[in-house]
Structure 1
Amino acid sequence: MKKLTYDKWKSPAIVAVSLVVVMYVFGLQLSSLNPFVSSWDQVDFSLAIERYDLRAMRPHFPGYPYFILGGLLTKFIVAEPSQALVLFNILIYASSIFPVYLIASRLISRQSAFMAAAIIYTASYPLIIVNQPMSEGAALAVFWWYFWSIVTAWERKSGKWLLLPLFLFSVLLGIRLSYIPLGAGMIYLFYKKWKDHQIGFSGLLTYTLAAGVFQLIWIGGLIMTEGGIANFLELAFGFTGGHFQEWGGTTASNDLSIIARIKIFLFTNIFWWGIFSRTHVLMVLYIVIGLFIFWPGTKSKLFKNMPFTLGVLMMSAYGIWALFAQNIDKARHILPVAVILIFLVLSAFFKRYPSIYSSLLILILLIAQAMVSANLVKTQANEEPAVYQLARFLEETNEEFVLYTWEETRVLEYLKMPYSHKRINTYKVFLHDQSLYKDKTVYLTDKVVDGFRAQGIEIDQRVEKIKSFDSEKIFDPVYNEIILYKWTP
């Protein structure tokens, strides 16, 4: 009996179902624009739509000018600043289906490539981040176009094509500067061109200058808005110093051992959050697909294929950066690793098993993933974050009080809450400040209380738990639960 392969057994039905699933998720995103601004960074980006000012953290350094520009364009469609940013994310992220398909079609059949693109687009945790007023969503989309441009430039003999990845890399950094390690892919491209004698030293110098010019477009704009290079550098050093030494959650500012950090990075952030989306059904399906890849049998030759090697290289480069230089408490920082890994796994799976049965397995994953994503997108757009619940609760309190918070006060300012609230970091400052409010009730959030405990303060006898506010952890791993305490002088 002749072997039934996917290439010979074309199945328009499977492709049609995949297309319907993609369109359903896209339509749901458009009809469920997230209206909430629930974190410090989200406030920064949303305020920047109304007035761009780096010194006022509208947004914070380095300014993400292309992301803000995208939000300004979509503001003509949606008036609310945060939702304008979400809409921009959704639209540009939807465009990434095309480069993912084009890259995958160089490794596997076109039908399989379309399914791979559908899986990556509907991946639940990336969609959650896309539906927030944060730059990661747009950055992921530009990343895929950048990935495709490298592959295309490698295939073409004309040197003009080398300008495309240089330009897209500048757009990528103008949206999300922390994606700079993905430049390893461009370095690899030029190494291949030089090794194949397609460009020489003068060519490398020319394209290096071109890369600098493209980056200077957005960096130069920021320098102008800050009134000169001295002011810009002052902001730059202040931000990077804080990120790497104080509040950034990097290895330099975090007490976790390297083993504990790797464990969280790999198993919690990449797999449980980034790929499985904290869902057991998706975990089982992805693990089954992964086991099939390592099942004894015919080995594929994907590692000899330039797009696959390129994906491994960029995933590794960014992974090292994310492990040591990004906040381990925020899983969103591993998104490039998660989506590239999904791409590589699907490519390897379809390469080894190009049958209708393997496509049906991926279709099951696609439908299950879309159902999870749909539920999360709707929940994110309709259920108030914990910080909003806190804000409303205190707004209805009929007494004079002052609230001390950690980062929550940034959101309270954005919501224009009418009561007194202050950000506090140290116990000594708090003791002095609260003494000024003898006739008022003093409230603290749990992050403040935990911070005092970390400073060695025995505070449990002086605080009384009032109320707890909860929201979905996958939307905000840090402030999904807020506990309100009352201070006893």
Structure 2
Amino acid sequence: MLILLQLAWLGWLLAFPAALDSDDALNFAHGVTRFSVLEFSPHFPGYPAFIWLARLINLAVDDPARAVQWASLLGSSLLAPLAALLAVKLWQRPSLLAPVWLLVLALPLTPTLALSGLSDGPALAAWLGTLLALQQRRITLAGLLLGLLLALRPSYFVLALLPLWLGMAQKGTRVRFVFPIALVGLISLLFVWQADGWAYFSEGRRFTDGHFTLWGNTAAAHGDRLLSWARTFNDQLTPLWPLAVGALLVLPLWQRSKNHPAALPPLWTLYWLALLLWTLFGQNPDNPRHLAPITLLGIVLLAGWLPRCGEKLATVTGLLLLGATFTLPRPPAMMQAAKLAEKACPALVTQWGVRLLRETTTLPVTDGWYQGDAALALSQGACRLSRRPITASEMPTAVDQHWFAPRFAAEPGLWLAIPDPPARQN
């Protein structure tokens, strides 16, 4: 039954048009044909294992855009079964397989990751696979998967903390654990070195500084972004998310007081807290996909609290949520907006998908990050594309705004503001 639902979910996503909807996804597509972080193909840190996977798929499809999307889809399709198997192994309860599988499959984050054309899905699959392999004492496989995790998405180094701890704690098998990690790391280093040499490290320093201080929009540099995270949590996890966070914090104490037969050590809760802090302060709340690690691990850890009498109810809930997730296949909001903009706009100002729009449309596109250039373009009649409604103070000439709904709840929608004709003539 679960396998059939998984195949139906996969077939549903394959029915969506293959289309890139972000600059990052476009950068990966460029990296399939020519890898260089200096040319943002892709951007730092390069994600070598994801490029290898996409290039392998590209041998069959001969379309870099489709290759990176299928690479994301392949990795994301493993998230639900791996999370379910990990919950079963951790809690020693085979009856958790169906509810956890269905809940992960029904998350709006899961199809968002699958069609993003980004490395999040495959990296998360490698992460869950590493934790599962460690629970099964398959040390060499765990080391290989951990190495691939870091090569798929090096910014997930925080996710590697617990697997590294658990793997190094296995006396007598440390060499079998460390060797595949070092091997994958060396191959990745040689791969990026042959493309950019020493300049790779200079670009890394520049990009990291920019992420935390300029364009990254993280709470590490902008404290008010923590409030944005609260809104993101509310949108993706319902306003009841503080209850789940509180439950995760008291989980070890509850297990000890009840002498839970499958009680997890407090290390797991500390690990989840580390991921939460990294997400809050090191990631951009405008992208809900950054919630995926703490959401997946939270579901696995909270599954142990699920009473046996509630497992069937959780399974039915998962089926209902999965049914609500299914929508009619359509292009991403970015492609819908670009199609209208080409018909209705002489030029475009935006901070989202600038490179993508420049390469896929015939419109002059101004980066809204540069306020002077944006103001000049708007004064000459350009349209404005944004993730929120455009106010009169931002664009006094706007007379018509179009809303482009996202495909899934974890994707951003877009607003296109079109000025009146006299403003365009000026």
Fold shared, TM-score > 0.5 on shorter chain: yes
Residues of 2 paired with 1:109 and 1:177: CA distance?
Answer: 33
1:389 has 2:348 as partner: no
Amino acid corresponding to residue 442 of structure 1 in structure 2? G
1:22-59 deviation line (CA, Å, top 9, x unaligned): 332233233x2442222222222223233333222121
Equivalent in the alignment of 1:471: 405
Equivalent in the alignment of 1:181: 158
The size of the alignment, in residue pairs, is 415
Conservation of the 8 A alpha-carbon contact between 1:405 and 1:448 = no
Deviation at 1:433, TM superposition (A): 7.3
Match of 1:468, SS? strand
Match of 1:354 among 308, 324, 332: 308
Equivalent in the alignment of 1:269: 232
1:484 has 2:391 as partner: no
1:89-115 deviation line (CA, Å, top 9, x unaligned): 333333445543442333133233344
Residues of 2 paired with 1:101 and 1:414: CA distance?
Answer: 41
Match of 1:250 among 214, 218, 222: 218
1:9-33 deviation line (CA, Å, top 9, x unaligned): xxxxxxx4x4443332233233x24
Match of 1:61 among 39, 44, 48: 44
Conservation of the 8 A alpha-carbon contact between 1:222 and 1:232 = yes
1:341-380 deviation line (CA, Å, top 9, x unaligned): 111222321xxx224xx232022112112202222xx3xx
Amino acid corresponding to residue 445 of structure 1 in structure 2? R
1:426-451 deviation line (CA, Å, top 9, x unaligned): 3444567789xxxxx53041559999
Equivalent in the alignment of 2:322: 370
CA gap 1:70/1:432 in 2 versus in 1, 3 angstroms = same
Matches within 5 A, 1:69-468: 69-106=52-89, 107-153=91-137, 161-190=138-167, 192-193=169-170, 198=171, 211-226=181-196, 228=197, 230-256=198-224, 261=226, 264-265=228-229, 267-270=230-233, 272-273=235-236, 275=237, 299=258, 301=260, 304-305=263-264, 311-349=268-306, 353-355=307-309, 358-375=310-327, 378=328, 381-385=329-333, 387-397=334-344, 401-415=346-360, 417-430=361-374, 441-445=380-384, 447=386, 460-461=395-396, 463-468=397-402
Amino acid corresponding to residue 93 of structure 2 in structure 1? S
Equivalent in the alignment of 1:39: 22
Residues of 1 paired with 2:312 and 2:394: CA distance?
Answer: 57
Conservation of the 8 A alpha-carbon contact between 1:120 and 1:343 = no
Normalised by the length of structure 1, the TM-score is 0.73
Deviation at 1:221, TM superposition (A): 1.0
Residues of 2 paired with 1:45 and 1:425: CA distance?
Answer: 22
Conservation of the 8 A alpha-carbon contact between 1:406 and 1:448 = no
Residues of 1 paired with 2:387 and 2:86: CA distance?
Answer: 48
Residues of 2 paired with 1:429 and 1:272: CA distance?
Answer: 33
Equivalent in the alignment of 1:4: none
Match of 1:234, SS? helix
Conservation of the 8 A alpha-carbon contact between 1:46 and 1:82 = yes
Residues of 1 paired with 2:124 and 2:78: CA distance?
Answer: 11
Conservation of the 8 A alpha-carbon contact between 2:332 and 2:407 = no
CA gap 1:119/1:108 in 2 versus in 1, 3 angstroms = farther
Residues of 2 paired with 1:334 and 1:19: CA distance?
Answer: 26
> Between Structure 1 and Structure 2, whose CA radius of gyration is higher?
1
Conservation of the 8 A alpha-carbon contact between 1:465 and 1:485 = yes
Residues of 2 paired with 1:111 and 1:384: CA distance?
Answer: 37
Deviation at 1:311, TM superposition (A): 4.4
Residues of 1 paired with 2:176 and 2:332: CA distance?
Answer: 52
Deviation at 1:271, TM superposition (A): 5.7
Conservation of the 8 A alpha-carbon contact between 2:112 and 2:411 = no
Structure 1 segments unaligned to the other structure (5+ residues): 1-15, 154-160, 436-440
1:391-417 deviation line (CA, Å, top 9, x unaligned): 2233235x9x443332343221231x2
Equivalent in the alignment of 1:12: none
Normalised by the length of structure 2, the TM-score is 0.82
Residues of 1 paired with 2:270 and 2:382: CA distance?
Answer: 50
Match of 1:445, SS? strand
Amino acid corresponding to residue 59 of structure 1 in structure 2? P
Match of 1:317, SS? helix
CA gap 1:125/1:192 in 2 versus in 1, 3 angstroms = same
Amino acid corresponding to residue 21 of structure 1 in structure 2? L
Residues of 1 paired with 2:315 and 2:34: CA distance?
Answer: 45
Deviation at 1:255, TM superposition (A): 4.7
CA gap 1:149/1:173 in 2 versus in 1, 3 angstroms = same
Deviation at 1:318, TM superposition (A): 1.4
CA gap 1:23/1:313 in 2 versus in 1, 3 angstroms = farther
Conservation of the 8 A alpha-carbon contact between 2:150 and 2:156 = yes
* RMSD (Å), alpha carbons: 3.8
Structure 2 segments unaligned to the other structure (5+ residues): none
1:55-93 deviation line (CA, Å, top 9, x unaligned): 221211111121122222223444443332222233333
Residues of 2 paired with 1:405 and 1:26: CA distance?
Answer: 33
Residues of 2 paired with 1:367 and 1:251: CA distance?
Answer: 36
Residues of 1 paired with 2:399 and 2:139: CA distance?
Answer: 60
CA gap 1:56/1:476 in 2 versus in 1, 3 angstroms = farther
Equivalent in the alignment of 1:52: 35
CA gap 1:79/1:212 in 2 versus in 1, 3 angstroms = closer
Conservation of the 8 A alpha-carbon contact between 2:398 and 2:417 = no
CA gap 1:26/1:300 in 2 versus in 1, 3 angstroms = farther
Amino acid corresponding to residue 425 of structure 1 in structure 2? W
Match of 1:219, SS? helix
Conservation of the 8 A alpha-carbon contact between 1:173 and 1:179 = yes
Residues of 2 paired with 1:425 and 1:150: CA distance?
Answer: 45
